Structure formats: C-alpha cells, structure tokens
Structure 1
Amino acid sequence: MVHFLTTLVLRNAPLYYFGWVCLVAALVCAVLTQFSSRQVMGVNAWGKPAKFFISISLFAWTMGWYLGYLGPQPAVALYTWVVVGTLAFELLCITGQAARGQRSHFNTASSFGTALSIAMGVAIVVMTLWTAYIGLVFGQAPLLGLPPAYAWAIRLGIGLFVVFALQGGLMVSRLAHTVGGPDGGPGLPGLGWSTRHGDLRVAHFIGMHALQVLPLLAWYGQLSVPATGLVALLYASLAGAVLVQALRGRALGRRRLFLGV
C-alpha cells in the first residue's frame, strides 16, 4: 500500500490529494452517524455521504494510477480537473443536503431540491462522458511495457464503468432506485440495498467497479488477453443479470435470478 501511495502521488498529485480529502471526509461522516439522530428516508443522514466519499476516493485513486500510463499530456491534465471539479460539486451537494436532513437525489419536494438534482446529474454525465473519452485514449495508446492482458483489462474496465455509470439514468428517469416498492425500506447493512424489492443500485455498483476488479484479476491472475476478455464478458453478464433482476422488482439474493417468474 505504501508503494502504491508513493507512486500515485508522483503519477497524479491532484487525484492523490483529492482521494485523501474524501477519505478524511468519510471518516468525519462516519463519526457523525454516531452522534446525530438526523434521518433521511429512514436511515442516518450521514451514511450516504460517507459511502459516496469512500467510493469517490477509490475512483480518484484508481484513475490517478491508470492515467500515469498515458504520461503528461493535455487530455490527462484536463480530465484530472474535470474529475476533481465535478465530483467535489457532487459531494458538496450530497453533504449539504444531509446536513439539512433532505434527499440529495430525486428530490422534487422544492424548486431548490429539483435544481440541485438536475445540476448533480449534469455534473456526473459530464464526468462520465470525459471518462469515456479517456477510455478511447487508452484504446489508441500503445501502453508499452504493460502486460497486454492488463492493458486490455484497463480498457474494458473503463468501458464497463461508463456503461453502468450511465445506467444511473434509469434511476433518474424513475426518480427512484427501488423497483416494486418505495425507496427507504429495509436494506442490506452498510449498503442499504433493498432486501424486499428490486434495487437498481446493485448493478450500478457492480458494473462501475469493473474499473478495479478486471485489472486486478488480469494482473494478479496473470491472465492471457483471451482470458481477460472472457472474464470481462462474464462480469458484464453478472451485472446485466442483476440489473434484469432489479427491473423485475426482485431483491438481490431472491431465487430464480435468471427466470422471469
């Protein structure tokens, strides 16, 4: 871990420090959950910001590491600040709404809440499309010195991240992440995914974390390029199956995952 961090700060200092800021903020939010009784949708208001801070810290450090393979070029520098700017805005909105005891996403209770939700959505779409562009840059870059399977795992991981990040549009179109029931019901500890109904956040989570899972499997598993492609296909199929499960209103873990009954 020490080697990772000392290398990361040399590869991409802005994302390195942004990741640390997010981790510290996640710790603060975790502490606040123990001292605050404020709730949003039946759960402690500070739980959601804590999860987002952790997730965005992981994303920042992951992309900071990968961007180092592209070298110092304008596209990398611009993308770095797009990530920091858009995600800092997202986190500010989520944390601010938590402090007010209000929903940050799908909030149509007031004109302010609606405007904030729209602005957050625009920021995330901008960041995701820029990530897609960086994925194209990776597709054209030779990535000399890297194992071919690892290089392809990065490309495929970015691709799946983009697809399932945009899958968030399904939640926006529904103004909810639960299918078959209202948001805010019983959920898995820590994650909050519904244990009674379909939850679109599950596929969103699994698909986006292909960004970390595929390269790690390719590197430590010493996979070949065809094996990496097969693993990526299986991983995408899993995320897709979970998405279908959610759209049918079935909770994760319910029987007959692949059947329409």
Structure 2
Amino acid sequence: MNYFITELKRRNQTLYFFSLICLLGALVCIAMVFLNDTVVLGINAWYKPMKFFLSTVFFSCTMGWFMYYLNRPLHTMLYSWTLISTLTFELLYITLRASQGQLSHFNISSAFNGLMFSLMGIAITIITLWTAYVAFLFWKRSFPELPTAYLWGIRFGLLLFVIFAFSGGMMAARLSHTVGSAMETTQGLPVLNWSRESGDLRIAHFFGMHALQLLPLLGFYVTRTKQQIIGLSLIYAAAVTALLFQALNALPLVPMK
C-alpha cells in the first residue's frame, strides 16, 4: 500500500491530492451519520455523499495511475482538472442536499432543482466521454512495457466502466433507481440501500463501473495470459449485464423474506 501511495503521488500529484480531499470528505460524512439523524428515502442522508466521496477516491486514484501509461502530460493534466471540476461540482451539491435532508438526484420539484439535476448529468457525461476517449487510446495503442494480461484488464475495465456509467442514463430517464415500485417506498440493504422489494438499476451500475479496478487487478495478480483475462472479462461483463436485466424485470438482488 505504501508503494501504491508513493507511486500514485509521483504519477499524478493532482489526482493524488484530490483523492486525499475526497477521502477526508468521506470521513466527515461517516462522522455525520452518527451526529445527524436526518433521513432521506428511509436511510441516513449522509450515506449517499459518503458513497460518492469514496467512489471518487477510487476513480481518481485509478485514472491517475492509468493515465501515466499514455505518456501525454498535457492530456493528463487537462483530463485531471476536468475530472476534479466535474466531480467537485457533483460532490458539493450532493453534500449540500444531504445537509438539507433533500434529494439531489431525480429532484425536479422546482426549476432550480431541475436545473441542478440536469447540470449534474452534463458534468458526468463530460468526464465519461473523456474517459471513453482514454479507453479508445488504450485499445488503439500498444504498450510493450506492460504485462499483456494487465493491459487487457485495463482495456476491458475502461470499456465496462464507460458502458455502465452511461447506464445511469436509464435512472435519469426514469427519475428513479428502482423498477417495479416507487423509489420512496422501497426498503433497501443497509448502507447501500439497494432495493429488496424491486429491481434496482444501481447494482449493475456499481459493479460495471468498478470493473475499472477489478479487471486490471485480476490481470496483474491472477491471470497470466491474454486469453485468461479476456475470458474473465467476458464472464464479468455477462454477469453485470444479467444484473441489469434482473433489475429491468423488477427483481431485487436480495429479496425480502
């Protein structure tokens, strides 16, 4: 872990420090869970910003690590600051709404709330499209200095991240995470709040996007050949796709007894 932290700081100091700030934000949200009992959709309001802060930590660290391989300093700098600006906007708004005990996503109860929800969508689309371009570069170029299985893990990790990041558009279009019941009445798993009454689109969204970390790790530490990591990546993609179709069919991941 010490090696990873030191090396990440060397590779991308900008995203390294942004990750530390987001980690601090997550810790503050954890503290607020115990200090504040405000509830949104049946769960403590501070769990949501906590999850988004932690997700941003993982995303920032991962992209800071991968962008180094492209050897494009200007491109990396612009990508890093775009990531920081778009996600800071989203994190601040989600945190503000949590402090007010109100929804951030799907909240179109007023013209202002609708505008902010749209701006969040635009911000996420911008960084996702840029990440899609980064994925294109990894698929287009060769990287003889990288272990083959690791490289293919990065390629598939980026590809699945982009695909399932855009699956968030399904939730935006429905103005709901869930399929088969009203979001406001859904009982969910602890902390995660994934619905136990109906289908929940966040599950495939979560596992698809975190292929960005999982598949490169499998490529580096577990598999030894290109064929092995491609096989694992395809199996993983099929499993996440099955989770998406399960949710679209209004079936919960962990049904209530």
Kindly state the Cα deviation for residue 140 of structure 1 after the two structures are TM-superposed. Answer: 2.6
Measured in 1, the distance between the counterparts of 2:242 and 2:100 equals 37
Aligned residue runs from structure 1 range 100-111, under 5 A: 100-111=100-111
State the match for 2:201 in structure 1. Answer: 200
Q: Contact conserved, 1:156 with 1:232, CA < 8 A, in 2?
A: yes
Report Cα offsets for 1:41-63 as digits up to 9, x if no partner. 22111110001000110110011
Aligned length: 255
- What TM-score, normalized by structure 2, do the two folds share? 0.96
Q: Unpaired runs of 5+ in structure 1?
A: 255-261
The amino acid of 1:208's aligned partner reads M
State the match for 2:43 in structure 1. Answer: 43
State the match for 2:113 in structure 1. Answer: 113
The amino acid of 1:107's aligned partner reads N
Measured in 1, the distance between the counterparts of 2:110 and 2:33 equals 26
Measured in 1, the distance between the counterparts of 2:108 and 2:142 equals 47
State the match for 2:235 in structure 1. Answer: 234
Kindly state the Cα deviation for residue 182 of structure 1 after the two structures are TM-superposed. Answer: 1.4
The amino acid of 2:11's aligned partner reads R
State the match for 1:148 in structure 2. Answer: 148
* Regions of 4+ moved over 4 Å: none
State the match for 2:68 in structure 1. Answer: 68
State the match for 1:190 in structure 2. Answer: 191
State the match for 1:221 in structure 2. Answer: 222
The amino acid of 2:26's aligned partner reads A
Q: Contact conserved, 2:181 with 2:198, CA < 8 A, in 1?
A: yes
Q: Unpaired runs of 5+ in structure 2?
A: none
Report Cα offsets for 1:182-218 as digits up to 9, x if no partner. 1142111121100111000000001001101101111
Q: Which moved more, 1:108-117 or 1:158-167?
A: 108-117
Is 1:170 the counterpart of 2:170 in the alignment? yes
Q: Contact conserved, 1:217 with 1:223, CA < 8 A, in 2?
A: no
Measured in 2, the distance between the counterparts of 1:112 and 1:40 equals 20
Report Cα offsets for 1:58-109 as digits up to 9, x if no partner. 1100111111111243222211111111111110110111112110000011
Measured in 2, the distance between the counterparts of 1:11 and 1:224 equals 27
Measured in 1, the distance between the counterparts of 2:89 and 2:16 equals 18
Measured in 1, the distance between the counterparts of 2:73 and 2:33 equals 42
State the match for 1:258 in structure 2. Answer: none
- C-alpha RMSD of the superposition: 1.3
Identity of matched residues, %: 47
- What TM-score, normalized by structure 1, do the two folds share? 0.95
Structure 2 SS opposite 1:34: helix
